[in-house]
Structure 1
């Protein structure tokens, strides 16, 4: 058996069913071997798109994302997507062809391990034919356990070599989440026992630990309202006491209620300046407790009065047990009046002046109309840019797997590929890639990818013919923003040229063809929404405070 074959069999044998990539001479054999092992391959048009597809797949499905690229430029093309995945702590394995150490003068020569570490990923390497199976198994395990991307560099002079007889990689035991220290639990319980208006803020760490049930149970005991960071959006979907996203995307009611809290419990949330609205979201007199597996994260970005090192779910259960033992049971925020107010004041119920014209649709009106049309079982993947708040505010999601938010690195251009990965990872749900015109043009090649695989997904393009964030940031200062504006792009025509369907929307009524498409779902539908470029997104005011 060749080295490439053992890598493919090892990964497929450990549950890899889907992988993404772009084939070059250096990774051809590995792709061929993994396909022979039974995994389905989806070929992108750019390596950054391939990694982002694997990232979106992992976030939507909960499985490890896997990707394969060529050495040298194939690897460097993947770096932006890899950095996003690393900053997000996405479990992902990047199978990267690599030049052999002996190839001193190869055009492809590059220290890929050093570059991988620079992005925050883990650098691994196939050391030789006799260790290939072990190396592949270790890369996959580290991605799962450490929840980080692992770059497995595979020297091209090894892939065709025969594997000597040897033992299969040994299986490692399954690990359990660590339980927090009793003293830390007691300190948070003291805080909650004295609280009258507690709030639970759950981030991606809480979502990854599967902590919803435990956090809701704890919230019920102490009378807490529930909120999430943007990365944890959807975790409390359907809960009557959930106020949605805390921070720049927070509704006016959420800002009001969160500001009244006398105790804030953050589970797997960094409480960065976006989530905490630059330190102004919570009262200066509120007690803050922060729970995280990473002790360095506690108190790093926001004041924390009590810190707990532990898994979010395990800590929530330990707290509930401690409070039950003390006989603590409180009403807190949980009154019928608060529940009614939360139900009646979602973002879509907040009044606004519709700024639609004969030429442009108001982006808020467009988002609400789209939300009404699409089925509840959906995965919404966003890009980055001025439009970013609208999908988060107005498009409902069924759970935390239903919201893919590739904004840990805040790069424009990753949303379309993440949406493709989500469509592959959760085919029973309608994938919606919500992107701006800038990001759509950056990733335009992947529109052909979606069409080639006939993925039944929606690509909703908020098209203001500009880099809107820059226009609305610098324009009010009196600066010229001509270089951030562009001629109008006809994305519906581009969609048809790529093999997808496309419609142009200038009013809610123009969305009528979506109903007919939903009955077929026989390929991607691109919605070119000509949004009013003069509408400034509500969340930008908070975002600009960081500059």
Structure 2
């Protein structure tokens, strides 16, 4: 068979079962070969959307996903989504056709593009080595949790090669921690009076052992935003640590004498630029990647090891149970329990009110994707999720416009849950083409747009300084009408009563997706963004 066919079939056999992309002449045969090998292909309307769909699918399914793009412009269109995936260490393979002749109008230095955003470039160099190089790309994605750009030159694709031999998909072996580091962590937990666990993405799937160790050591439990929901329902859960933390959660974390980050970067968002770490707090970080330890924050102990394995070893060595921090009265650690003055008017709804009413309406089994912007904190903390697979948070690059594509990828990875895309008006209009993808796939998705007719973050950042805001404010747009044009049911929401239409849709057949154009009050900078700007 030819190289394109052999590579596509090899990728599918190696575990790439879900592919997103936009088809052009250069990736046509590669994509069809993946489909012939058993992979499912989803056509997006833009490569940027396809990249984020693949990223979200990999995050929420726990499997490697692929993006298929045309040479040159297909890849450049996808670069923001690829950057988000690379920064998040998402196991993903970008299959890109490539021209190697600099005089071609499609030529760009695709290897340099990959390196510039932190992806790993791999090139198919010959017909004889094509299959092995493609399988190596999948192995790197899985074992090193990397986003890999697999460049497939047009000049090689049509050459003949042997059919790929069947090989088992690659797997990642857990990293065994050093016994001495485990002992140090165990001793710190034994002597801590107010320990707090902050679980990150590397803790997903390890709820049981982390809760058992927290109970034994008397630790309170918190998560980063990307692991939100991991401890849902636990009476000692504080919710999200960092900019999204409630005032009481922030107070309790700040008073900890020991913070253990489990598979958590402890970056500026999770620690509020370090403000949540007390001056005398001991900080420990557990991660299976040694290069991640202490990158964002000074730590007193770094443990290189798999989170589940490390926690199990500490639990086995710990000894008798301690009370620790579990004498504290948690109080109102949930944002929905924090009182606020509803500032809704007849024309616009308070985003907090909007979020809380939606939370009460939506079924418990939900998967939520949130775009970036001034609005994003409200749904992130007010919309509850059933577990760590309930929120897909593509915010490592903090790009506006990824939320809708994120919801599509998450919906396909979690098909038994109601998918909810929560967007600002800027992100919704930026990604509106993917409304067609939602309708075409028949996804029963709820799309909620927090519409303030502006780029709200910039309005609130620069407005107080008296700067002109003409470049970041816009005339009103009827986004509900846009949704109807794509085949959605749609409603404009100005008051809480208008959300009855959402209840009607939820109780109906959901034969078409639903879009909510919520005209939100836009008078204030959100609390989480205020914290972020203060950190600057």
Give TM class, smaller chain: over 0.9
Match of 2:326 in 1: 334
Deviation per CA, 1:249-280: give whole Å up to 9, x if none: 00111012112211111111121121111222
User: Structure 1's 62 and 499: CA in aligned 2 closer, same or farther, altered over 3 A?
Assistant: same
Of 189, 193, 197 in structure 2, the residue corresponding to residue 192 of structure 1 is 189
Tell whether the 8 Å contact from 1:200 to 1:227 is kept in structure 2 after alignment: yes
Deviation per CA, 1:462-513: give whole Å up to 9, x if none: 1000110111111122222232111111111001111222111111111112
Which 4+ runs in 1 deviate beyond 3 A?
169-175
Q: 306-315 or 347-356: which moved more? A: 306-315
Alignment of 1:463-542 (within 5 A): 463-518=451-506, 519-542=508-531
Q: 441-450 or 241-250: which moved more? A: 441-450
Match of 1:367 in 2: 355
Alignment of 1:129-528 (within 5 A): 129-164=127-162, 168=165, 171=168, 174-207=171-204, 210-324=205-319, 328-335=320-327, 338=329, 341=331, 344-518=332-506, 519-528=508-517
Deviation per CA, 1:115-145: give whole Å up to 9, x if none: 1111111111222222222222221221111
**Quick one: distance in 2 between partners of 1:348 and 1:250?**
12
Q: Secondary structure at the match of 1:400?
A: coil
Q: CA deviation at 1:367?
A: 0.4
**Quick one: distance in 2 between partners of 1:54 and 1:83?**
12
Q: Secondary structure at the match of 2:480?
A: helix
Alignment of 1:43-192 (within 5 A): 43-99=43-99, 101=100, 103-164=101-162, 168=165, 171=168, 174-192=171-189
Tell whether the 8 Å contact from 2:142 to 2:172 is kept in structure 1 after alignment: no
User: Structure 1's 426 and 332: CA in aligned 2 closer, same or farther, altered over 3 A?
Assistant: same
Tell whether the 8 Å contact from 1:20 to 1:43 is kept in structure 2 after alignment: yes
Q: Secondary structure at the match of 2:389?
A: helix
Q: Secondary structure at the match of 1:539?
A: helix
Tell whether the 8 Å contact from 1:199 to 1:227 is kept in structure 2 after alignment: yes
Unmatched tracts of structure 1, length 5 or more: none
Match of 2:37 in 1: 37
Q: CA deviation at 1:169?
A: 6.3
Number of matched residues? Answer: 535
TM-score, with normalisation over the residues of structure 2?
0.96
**Quick one: distance in 1 between partners of 2:264 and 2:488?**
39
Match of 1:5 in 2: 5
Q: Secondary structure at the match of 1:153?
A: strand
Tell whether the 8 Å contact from 1:137 to 1:169 is kept in structure 2 after alignment: no
- Please tell me the root mean square deviation across aligned C-alpha atoms, in Å: 1.6
1:543 equivalenced with 2:535 (yes/no): no
Q: 222-231 or 447-456: which moved more? A: 447-456
Tell whether the 8 Å contact from 1:126 to 1:155 is kept in structure 2 after alignment: yes
Tell whether the 8 Å contact from 2:13 to 2:168 is kept in structure 1 after alignment: no
User: Structure 1's 514 and 186: CA in aligned 2 closer, same or farther, altered over 3 A?
Assistant: same
TM-score, with normalisation over the residues of structure 1?
0.95
**Quick one: distance in 2 between partners of 1:298 and 1:104?**
41
Q: CA deviation at 1:334?
A: 2.2
User: Structure 1's 36 and 300: CA in aligned 2 closer, same or farther, altered over 3 A?
Assistant: closer
